[in-house]
Structure 1
Amino acid sequence: MKTPVPTHTLRRRARRGQAMVEYSVINWFLVFFLIVMMSVDLGNGDEKMNVIDAFLRAYQIYYDSFYFVLNLPFP
C-alpha cells in the first residue's frame, strides 16, 4: 500500500509548474515579438532583417574574427 502524499507538497508542486508555464509563455511572446514585429534597416535600405537575425549575424562576425586571430601563424 502506498503512503498518501501530503497536500502541501502537491500545492507547492502546482505553484512551481505554474511559474514555469508563465515564464515559458512570457519568453515565447518576447521572442515572437523580436522575430516577427521588429525589423531593422541595415544600411542601404534594400536589406531588412529582424533583430534576432541581426544579433546572430553580429555574433557570427565576432566569432569569425576571433577565430581568425587565433589561427594566425605569428606568436
Structure 2
Amino acid sequence: MKPNFQTMSKEELRTYVLNHRDDEAAFHAYMDKLHAQENRIEHPAVDSFDELENYPEFARKLQREASKQE
C-alpha cells in the first residue's frame, strides 16, 4: 500500500522518493510540491557548475540547503 503523497511534507516525500527511486508517482508528487513553493527560484538550465556564478541567488540557496542537511 502506497502512502498518501498529498499529506506528506516536502521533506517526508523527498526521503520517500530517495528510498523508492522507481516510484514515478512519488517523484511527480514531489515535483508538484516543489513547483507549488512560493520561494521557488526559476532559472534556465546550466551547462556547467561554473555557470552557477551567473545565478548568485540560486547558488546561495543551494549552499544554505546543503548546510542544513549536514
TM-score clears 0.5: no
Larger CA Rg, structure 1 vs 2 = 1
TM-score, L = length of structure 1: 0.27
Q: Which has the higher strand share?
A: 1
TM-score, L = length of structure 2: 0.29
**Bigger relative CO (Cα 8 Å, ≥ 6 apart):** 2
